[in-house]
A and B are shown apart, each in its own frame.
Chain A
Amino acid sequence: MIIKVRERTKMSAYERLYLPEVFRGLGVTLKHLFHNLFGNHKTRPLQTVRYPEQKLNYPERFRGQHRLLRRDNGSTRCVACYLCATACPAYCIHIVAGEAKDPKIEKYPTSFTIDMLRCIYCGLCVEACPEDAIRMDTGIHTKPFLARSDAVMGHLELLAFPGQKDTSLPYGAQEYRVLKNTEKI
């Protein structure tokens, strides 16, 4: 059995007077206050990143908004296997599978939606996908929404990530039903 003995440092009698230490503490905070009010900001600038104007570089593995990937012929890579929806801890992926024309592919999603308000950006869907069809490498924040229904992103939005805006590319089986905004699940 391992017993971890933690030594507690006893306060000295002087420290238990408390008030002198309070004044010392006040000295420390006042030093910071006056430095930041009147001091030289060049030698020690404030740490705040003024966000919209100033941005930090995100780490390479930053999980941003999702995107769906396409095959070379433009059809979606997703085979509607439901693995991502099963892995998702927030239950925010909803897939409706349809039969693909290509017998080797078997299935494709007629509708693939992610509720961005429920998503916790954990990346488990990406891990789960056997087809590398879904990724979170867009590097963009999900934009704010005015209505909750707007937060549910359909496959068209997910496929049209920045840099691949061209949605005129052929997509999967031709009978794919184009969902209107109002028709989202």
Chain B
Amino acid sequence: MAFLIITTLIKLIIIEFLFLLPLAAILTWMERRQSAYIQDRVGPTRAGITIFNHRFTLWGLIHIVADAIKMFFKEPFIPAKADKIFFKLAPLIPFAISLIIMALVPFGPDIKCIDIPIIGTWLLTNFPEYSNITLQIARVDTGLLLVFAISSLSIYGIILAGWASNNRYALLGGLRAVAQAISYEITLGLTIVGIFIIFGTAELSQIVAAQQQPLFTSLPTWGVFVQPLGAVFFFIAAIAESKRLPFDLPEGESEIIGYFVEYSSMAFGMFMLGEYLEIVVLSAVFTTLFFGGWHLPIIINLQINSFLAAILGMIIFGVKVFLLSALQLQIRWTLPRFRYDQLMRLGWKNILPIALANIFITAGLVWIDPTYKLAAYFGMGLTIIFIILVIIGPRRATLTATTSFNNPNQNQV
């Protein structure tokens, strides 16, 4: 028992406090820098520390600290007629739920206790009943279902925030969020049915294990290869779930009044951080379902010590999650926001039928050919058609920009 508690605590620290929270914090900085570069700006670079007459700004990373300090020192304002308890509780819900979901995601291969350097043999003699350490905090048989059951709870934080602040605009923002979440949750649920059909399990580490099977020679059975439609629509629906642009109608940072109008100081900061946590968690789940989790086809055949393999796996997992998070930021700074009717139409009339059709197609293809080869051919065919469409698709005559990049007024002082 002591063994389980200690290893779980260590895993908890690694995945939640050394990976999830720092990555979310870095994303707050990254979003600003990345958007700046996309728009040919510089972004935050000012905050820094001066040590021995040398100024360290770390490319603006110190802004994270500066922001946190600012948030903590602002006045936490609660409107007079707000429901005090729920008002304070609401920002914690999305935050906590992200942490819980991360506990279900496998972030590395199992470690054999004997392979751990220095304490390996000691562990074996003292805890002979435990031979493996799973790099997943909670291995639940209904893993994937639990992920969706819990992630749908985060909407309570939002509707509570909207309702408890006793502000009509906040309430409307909360209602928009709920309507949106309900619409896209169905798509989300339908897209993972394809995953169930292909991998035949809901347990996340088994899904990862199933994705290691070679499909064609060295190509693994990753979700994207056998379920490309599912992957794309899962991603779209999941972005809509996490309320990021182009689906950010519930909050609409700059234009619409959203559910956290009445929040200030760190309560607002929690919503903010919660959003970035959701990005990371979404990337982690997406990686696990469609990108083979912690594994990479080149490394799978390496015969190395399971401890090293675990470290490698964690790094691969981290890199994949990071890249997917960066992709989400990129999408945010590329697409304009949907109108509300467009959002609903897209959810109910476009994505939902395709997700539904995807189930039947997948089921049919797997029924004809249980080795998934047919599904993979179908997926690759779709992908190739799509790439061709993107490349040779008809283009509208665009206005030619006449921006001069050398500003004559700009002079060094």
Contacts and interface: CB of A to CB of B under 8 A. Distances in A.
Interface of A: 12, 14-15, 17, 19-26, 28-30, 32-33, 36-37, 44-50, 53-57
Given A44-B405, A47-B407, A22 B334 contact: yes
28 contacts: A12-B394, A14-B389, A14-B394, A15-B396, A17-B389, A19-B232, A22-B334, A24-B390, A28-B334, A29-B334, A32-B37, A32-B38, A32-B39, A36-B40, A37-B37, A45-B406, A46-B40, A47-B40, A47-B41, A50-B42, A53-B412, A54-B410, A54-B411, A54-B412, A55-B411, A56-B410, A57-B409, A57-B411
B331 A26 contact: yes
A32 B40 contact: yes
The A contact surface, by secondary structure, is: helix
A54 B407 CA distance: 12
A25 B335 contact: yes
A57 B412 CA distance: 10
Contacts of A21: 393
Contacts of A17: 389
A19 B232 CA distance: 10
B304 interface: no
Contacts of A25: 334-335
Contacts of B5: none
Interface in B358-413: 386, 389-390, 393-394, 396, 405-407, 409-413
Interface in B322-366: 330-331, 333-335
Given A12-B394, A20-B393, A26-B330, A54 B40 contact: no
Contacts of B411: 54-57
Given A25-B335, A26-B334, A46-B40, 16 more contacts: A14-B389, A14-B393, A15-B396, A19-B386, A20-B390, A20-B393, A24-B393, A26-B330, A32-B39, A44-B405, A46-B42, A53-B413, A54-B410, A54-B411, A56-B409, A56-B411
Contacts of B393: 14, 20-21, 24
B324 to A, nearest CB: 13
Contacts of A55: 411, 413
Interface in B28-49: 34, 36-42
Of B394, B406, B410, most buried by chain A (CB within 10 Å of CB) is B410
A129 to B, nearest CB: 30
A184 to B, nearest CB: 28
B413 A48 contact: no
Contacts of A23: 390
Interface in B228-287: 232
Contacts of B39: 32
A22 B410 contact: no
A47 B37 CA distance: 10
Interface residues of B, number: 28
B330 A33 contact: yes
B199 to A, nearest CB: 25
Contacts of B38: 29, 32-33, 36
Nearest to B331: A26
A25 B38 CA distance: 11
Nearest to A11: B396
Nearest to B45: A50
A46 B403 CA distance: 12
A2 to B, nearest CB: 27
Given A20-B389, A54-B413, A48 B334 contact: no
A15 B232 CA distance: 18
Contacts of B335: 22, 25
A33 B41 contact: no
A180 B55 CA distance: 40
Nearest to A9: B396
A157 B223 CA distance: 71
Contacts of A29: 38, 330, 333-334
A14 B396 CA distance: 11
Contacts of A47: 40-41, 405, 407
Nearest to B407: A47
A20 B405 contact: no
Contacts of A48: 36, 41-42
Contacts of B405: 44-45, 47
Contacts of A36: 37-38, 40
Contacts of A30: 330
Contacts of B407: 47, 49, 56
A53 B413 CA distance: 6
A14 B36 CA distance: 31
B37 to A, nearest CB: 4
A28 B333 CA distance: 11
A89 B316 CA distance: 62
B363 to A, nearest CB: 24
Contacts of A53: 412-413
A15 B395 CA distance: 9
Contacts of B334: 22, 25-26, 28-29
A26 B334 CA distance: 6
